[in-house]
Amino acid sequence: MSHARLRVHLALAFVQITFGAFHVAGKAALAHLPPLALAGIRIAGAAPLVILCALALERRRPVRADWSVLGLLGVLGIFVNQIAFILGLHLTSAANAAILMPTIPVFAAGLAFLMKVERPSAPRLAGVACAAAGALVMTGTRPPGAGGAYLLGNALLLLNCLSYALYLVLQKPLLGRLGPLTVVGGALAVGGAGILAVSAPSLVRLDYLSVPPAAWGAVLYIVLVGTALNYVLNSWAIRESGPSLAAAYITLQPLAGALLAALWLGEHLGGREAAGAPLILTGLILAARSAGKPAER
């Protein structure tokens, strides 16, 4: 494997390992912050940081035609994705969120092929299916929790998965003309405006001094790592490989969560982890081998 391809895989692995900790950080923050307030603070912190970096580090600017795509990316990947995730996680459980996450690579692979962003490939399809199966084995194949609030929460998380898959696929052509910082910054500007408008009442009512330092630490992690850094790294990796490979790496989230819990919390790994981990790793190897080489730049 070339150094360029290795960098892509390391970036995707980092994104999903740190996203794996997002569910825990999100729950810790939501214990003290209303969901819409958390969404507003997340975007208010991440958007200016990414936009300033884009202005400083990337020369190419979006033309008028690009803004229609950036607007769609902002609606799907920022507004719908983040609002649906935060509200869904608030209404249901982190376990249910983990169970539904493996639908993203399935959605992304299907959409990429239907929209002719990527060519159909039997090894890649097999890899996505194998990795998604491994994630389901690890999280459990039981149906997500029932009940009115849980059903609504699960529906919102499924909407989050579909919107994020569309976001991954639709940005690939744009990344051929613009840098990842510019694409993510433009999407954050458009989608973030909607999030701030929806979350403004919660932000005004929030008693900021009552939020403990540990919760602010979780918020800081969500802003810097779970949003700004990971969105940009993921878009860079999509430019260098493709959306279906980036989506396939999402199946690492339950594996990363289990390993981090074992290392930091002393939890024991069981049969599900032992059965699911080889499937995930096998699926990622198949998907990686079928992915094209990164573009030379």
Q: Label residue 292 by pLDDT band (50, 70, 90).
A: very low
Q: Residue 210 pLDDT more than 50?
A: yes
Cα four-point dihedral sign 260, 162, 79, 228: positive
Contacting residues for 233 by C-beta, under 8 A, at least 6 apart? 11, 12, 14, 15, 180
* The pLDDT value given to residue 297: 42
C-beta of residue 36 within 8 angstroms of C-beta of residue 202: yes
pLDDT tens for each residue of 134-168: 766 765 655 555 566 777 887 888 888 889 989 99
> What does the block give as tokens for 140?
């459990």
pLDDT of residue 294: 42
Residue 38: closest CA among 225, 206, 213: 206
Most confident of 132-146, 174-188, 276-290: 174-188
What DSSP string runs through the chain? --HHHHHHHHHHHHHHHHHHTHHHHHHHHHTTS-HHHHHHHHHHHHHHHHHHHHHHH------TTHHHHHHHHIIIIIIIHHHHHHHHHHHS-HHHHHHHTTHHHHHHHHHHHHTTSS---HHHHHHHHHHHHHHHHHH-SSPPP-SHHHHHHHHHHHHHHHHHHHHHHHHHHHHTTS-HHHHHHHHHHHHHHHHHHHHHHHHHH--GGGS-HHHHHHHHHHHIIIIIIHHHHHHHHHHHS-HHHHHHGGGHHHHHHHHHHHHHH-PPP-HHHHHHHHHHHHHHHHHHHHSPPPPP-
More confident call, 47 vs 282: 47
Q: What is the pLDDT of residues 90-131, one digit of tens each?
A: 787 666 666 677 778 777 877 887 787 777 677 767 776 776
Q: Copy the structure tokens of residue 111.
A: 């959409």
Contact 117, 275 (CB under 8 A): no
Are 218 and 261 contacting, i.e. CB atoms less than 8 angstroms apart? no
Residues 84, 252: Cα–Cα separation, whole Å:
21
pLDDT at 153: 80
Q: Domain spans of the chain?
A: 3-290
The least confident of 36-45, 257-266, 277-286 is 257-266
Which of 221, 177, 163, 292 minimizes the C-alpha distance to 24?
A: 221
Q: What is the pLDDT of residue 48?
A: 96
Using one digit for the tens of pLDDT, what is the confidence trace for 213-236? 999 999 999 999 989 999 999 999
pLDDT greater than 70 at residue 204? yes
Sign of the torsion angle spanned by Cα atoms 180, 195, 249, 67: negative
Tell me the mean pLDDT in the region 33-49: 93
What percentage of the chain reaches a pLDDT higher than 90? 39
Taking the complete model, does pTM exceed 0.85, yes or no?
no
Q: Which two tokens stand for residue 186?
A: 């433009």
* C-alpha to C-alpha distance for 200 and 106, rounded to whole angstroms: 35
Phi, then psi, of 63 in degrees rounded to 5: -90, 175
